[in-house]
């Protein structure tokens, strides 16, 4: 949402014209394995296009030598394609609604290879936390820009907080 060509449409939503965008390969090179990256995939493709997208992502990560240090999160359709094309990638399903939670639980029962989840911060309650802990899953919450909410989540034991506020994260 930064830069001279950015227009805020709604809180936390913006439109931006990138004259010279940072390419994924450049980001991976800059991170150089020093940090784990969480790539939040946005997808509105057909299943065939989603597989092509997943294949391209897998190739870029493999060529950069970053496949082990990257987490991939997003909605079900694109992640299913990523898991099909690149089964070694660490995939996290994003959940913010009850129906997504119920689908995730069914998927989790059928697939013990799932290692974690990304939840909208308001969805994380003590019962949800207990269930995720019992399953040994890593939990990331998004988008947390409020200090008290971040403290609540930290007290619940989340593994990661996704925020637009780097100062908030540094203070945690």
Q: What is the pLDDT of residues 79-123, one digit of tens each?
A: 888 888 888 889 999 999 999 999 999 999 998 889 999 999 999
How far apart are the C-alpha atoms of 85 and 61, rounded to whole Å? 13
pTM: 0.79
How far apart are the C-alpha atoms of 41 and 66, rounded to whole Å? 16
Q: How many CB atoms lie within 10 A of CB 61?
A: 23
pLDDT digits (tens, 9 = 90+) for 35-66: 788 999 876 778 888 888 888 999 999 998 88
Helix (H) or strand (E) holding 66: none
Answer yes or no: are the C-beta atoms of 10 and 141 closer than 8 Å: no
């Amino acid at each position: 949402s930064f830069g001279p060509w950015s227009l805020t449409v709604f809180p936390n939503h913006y439109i931006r014209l990138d004259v010279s965008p940072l390419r994924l390969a450049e980001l991976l090179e800059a991170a150089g394995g020093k940090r784990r990256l969480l790539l939040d995939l946005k997808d509105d493709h057909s299943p065939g296009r989603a597989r092509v997208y997943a294949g391209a992502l897998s190739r870029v990560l493999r060529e950069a030598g970053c496949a082990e240090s990257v987490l991939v999160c997003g909605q079900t359709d694109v992640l299913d394609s990523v898991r099909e094309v690149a089964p070694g990638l660490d995939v996290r399903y994003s959940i913010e609604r009850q129906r997504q939670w119920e689908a995730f639980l069914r998927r989790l029962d059928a697939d013990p290879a799932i290692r974690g989840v990304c939840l909208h911060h308001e969805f994380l309650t003590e019962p949800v936390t207990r269930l995720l802990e019992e399953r040994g899953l890593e939990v990331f919450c998004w988008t947390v820009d409020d200090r008290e909410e971040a403290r609540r989540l930290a007290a619940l034991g989340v593994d990661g907080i996704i925020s637009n506020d780097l100062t908030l994260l540094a203070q945690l």
